[in-house]
């Protein structure tokens, strides 16, 4: 009679468990049906933001035009390419970024263990003695337990998605660091090359002023000019020499900054001067497709923040759903060590636990609301980043156009100065102009060359900044949706 009652109770419990399990499964089906895809929500939000703030010409350009490639290789300098590659190996900032990336990989692997069952082994041995009776009793056990959390609703999958996003962010941050380092090296490198040429021009300017001083002394002896005129030229020469020392010191300072980025000691690194070559400045067309900017590291991280926020909302909603876990154990228990591994000492158990949190003082509602607020903040941050990107691109394009105009004006000045110098030389050879006039025009010609180099230097800096603004990785050989005009 007792066995029948126990069997009836057991069957009743199984029926109740089955009903609860079916209710949970049906709840999951309805939940998944009503819940929208996070990636689809992110895409809709991004399209909405881009439609609101991105210029229409940029959006239509991506569908209508074929854009050629643009990369850091367009600076066409083998030494610069070598320095960038060396910095990627030895730069301390990049070393730290790679360590953070490795740590993110470890965190992801640790998160993935939640999808796998756990297994533990244990053993026990004891000898109990009773003082009043003098009887002793031994007890031994050897067992294994295993548990597995069934991911009915995708909560464990969500817990893995967050480390995956963190890993991707670290990869993006590494790319961003490389872009910044490539920009710094490019700017410093061309500044040093330009500085070498400016130093040589300064030395030529001093030489011309010294020749002018010698001629002035001759004219002073002839009584044509006064000693004040000679003294003024001497002051100009000393000023030029002082500026030359400053330029040399600036050159050393640029070289030291470059050595630090390369991860080398300033005392051992030297970038020797070489013949100056005014390579063409890479130029970007002013009409950019909107998709061009999607490769920027800050935009990609902002998009990942949207993904993370949607996953957090999904996880918060699923907190109302029940949990299902499977547990199993196998044990050997015996009062004698010799019988421990025999069949009569063996026992095993398999169990399923189905649980649901009914009341939690509103903690789940608050967690859901916090996740929703975090998503709103992520949307605002994404829009702010998009606006910032557009502003940076417009500023870079404006600087490029201004530099192009300056170079065009400077080219006209150079042509005019060449005509003046040539005419003065002809007049000097014909006895119409003096050597003083010819030397003065030669000095003016050096000033024009100096301005030409500075405009070229600014153009290279602007182009490097343009690549940063567009998020162009130095490791990419060719990139879509970009164009160069030489």
pLDDT band at 24 (very low <50, low <70, confident <90, very high): very low
CA angle 434, 436, 440 (to 5 degrees): 125
pTM for this model (two decimals): 0.79
Mean predicted confidence (pLDDT) in 350-375: 88
pLDDT score of 114 more than 90: no
Rounded CA separation 155/145 (Å): 24
Question: What is the predicted pLDDT for the residue at 483?
Answer: 37
Rounded CA separation 23/322 (Å): 10
Rounded CA separation 435/441 (Å): 10
pLDDT score of 116 more than 90: no
pLDDT score of 336 more than 90: no
How far CA 276 is from CA of 56, 119, 162, in Å, comes to 43, 69, 51
Q: What is the DSSP letter of 484?
A: B
Query: Which of these ranges, 24-33, 52-61, 163-172, 470-479, has the smallest mean pLDDT?
Result: 24-33
SS3 of 349-367: the string is EEEEEEECCCCCCCHHHHH
Name, in order, each residue with C-beta under 8 angstroms of 383's C-beta and a sequence gap of 6 or more. Answer: 49, 52, 53
pLDDT band at 117 (very low <50, low <70, confident <90, very high): confident
According to DSSP, the residues that pair with 342 across neighbouring strands are none
Task: Answer whether 125's CB lies under 8 Å from 336's CB.
Answer: no
Mean predicted confidence (pLDDT) in 89-98: 93
Question: What is the predicted pLDDT for the residue at 485?
Answer: 35
The secondary structure element, H or E, covering residue 380 is helix 363-429
Contacts of 104-109 spanning 24+ positions with Cβ under 8 A? 104/163, 104/166, 104/167, 104/169, 104/170, 105/167, 107/163, 107/166, 107/167, 108/160, 108/163, 108/164, 108/166, 108/167
Look up the CATH number of the domain holding residue 410.
Answer: 1.20.1600.10
Strand, coil or helix: 119: strand
Residue 3 falls inside a structural domain: no
Model pLDDT for residues 381-427, shown as the tens digit of each residue: 998 998 898 888 889 889 999 999 999 999 999 999 999 999 988 88
The count of domains in the chain is: 1
Task: Answer whether 461's CB lies under 8 Å from 190's CB.
Answer: yes
Residue 486 falls inside a structural domain: no
Tokens of residue 154, six digits: 């995708």
CA angle 74, 77, 79 (to 5 degrees): 140
Task: Answer whether 299's CB lies under 8 Å from 385's CB.
Answer: yes
Q: What is the DSSP letter of 76?
A: -
- Residue-number span of the structural domain to which 397 is assigned: 8-470
Q: What is the DSSP letter of 324?
A: E
Rounded CA separation 416/411 (Å): 9
Residue 2 falls inside a structural domain: no
Residue 264 falls inside a structural domain: yes
Question: What is the predicted pLDDT for the residue at 23?
Answer: 46
pLDDT score of 160 more than 60: yes
Residue 480 falls inside a structural domain: no
Question: What is the predicted pLDDT for the residue at 94?
Answer: 94
Model pLDDT for residues 28-41, shown as the tens digit of each residue: 444 444 444 555 56
Residues shown for the chain: 486
Task: Answer whether 198's CB lies under 8 Å from 247's CB.
Answer: yes
């Amino acid at each position: 009679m007792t066995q029948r009652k126990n069997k009836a109770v057991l069957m009743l419990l199984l029926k109740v468990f089955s009903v609860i399990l079916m209710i949970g499964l049906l709840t999951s089906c309805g939940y998944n049906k009503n819940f929208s895809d996070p990636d689809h929500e992110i895409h809709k939000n991004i399209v909405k933001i881009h439609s609101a703030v991105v210029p229409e010409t940029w959006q239509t350009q991506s569908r209508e035009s074929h854009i050629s490639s643009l990369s850091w290789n367009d600076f066409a300098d083998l030494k610069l390419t070598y320095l960038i590659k060396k910095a990627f190996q030895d730069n301390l900032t990049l070393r730290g970024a790679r360590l953070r990336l490795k740590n993110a990989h470890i965190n992801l692997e640790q998160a993935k263990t939640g999808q796998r069952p756990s297994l533990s082994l244990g053993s026990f041995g004891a000898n109990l003695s009773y003082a009043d009776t003098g009887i002793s009793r031994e007890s031994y056990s050897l067992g294994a337990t295993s548990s597995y959390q069934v991911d009915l609703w995708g909560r464990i999958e969500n817990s893995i998605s967050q480390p995956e996003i963190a890993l991707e962010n670290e990869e993006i941050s590494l790319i961003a660091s490389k872009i910044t380092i490539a920009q710094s090296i490019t700017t410093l490198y061309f500044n040093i090359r330009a500085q070498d040429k400016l130093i040589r021009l300064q030395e030529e300017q001093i030489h011309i002023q010294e020749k002018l001083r010698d001629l002035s002394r001759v004219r002073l002896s002839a009584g044509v000019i006064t000693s004040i005129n000679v003294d003024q030229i001497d002051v100009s020469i000393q000023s030029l020499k002082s500026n030359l020392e400053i330029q040399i010191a600036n050159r050393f300072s640029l070289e030291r900054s470059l050595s630090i980025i390369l991860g080398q000691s300033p005392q051992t690194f030297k970038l020797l001067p070489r013949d100056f070559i005014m390579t063409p400045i890479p130029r970007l067309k002013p009409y950019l497709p909107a998709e061009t900017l999607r490769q920027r590291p800050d935009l990609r991280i902002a998009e990942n923040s949207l993904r993370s926020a949607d996953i957090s909302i999904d996880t918060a909603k699923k907190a109302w759903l029940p949990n299902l876990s499977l547990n199993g154990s196998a044990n050997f228990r015996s009062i004698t060590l010799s019988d421990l591994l025999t069949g009569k000492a063996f026992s095993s158990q398999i169990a399923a636990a189905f649980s649901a949190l009914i009341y939690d003082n509103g903690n789940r509602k608050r967690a859901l609301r916090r996740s929703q607020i975090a998503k709103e903040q992520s949307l605002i941050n994404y829009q702010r980043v998009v606006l910032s990107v557009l502003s940076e691109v417009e500023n870079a394009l404006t600087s490029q156009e201004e530099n192009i105009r300056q170079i065009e004006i400077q080219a006209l000045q150079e042509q005019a100065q060449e005509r003046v110098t040539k005419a003065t030389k002809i007049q000097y050879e014909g006895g119409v102009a003096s050597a003083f006039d010819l030397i003065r025009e030669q000095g003016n010609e050096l000033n024009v060359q100096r301005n030409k180099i500075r405009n070229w230097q600014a153009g290279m800096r602007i182009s490097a900044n343009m690549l940063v603004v567009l998020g162009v990785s130095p490791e990419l050989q060719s990139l879509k949706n970009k164009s160069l005009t030489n």
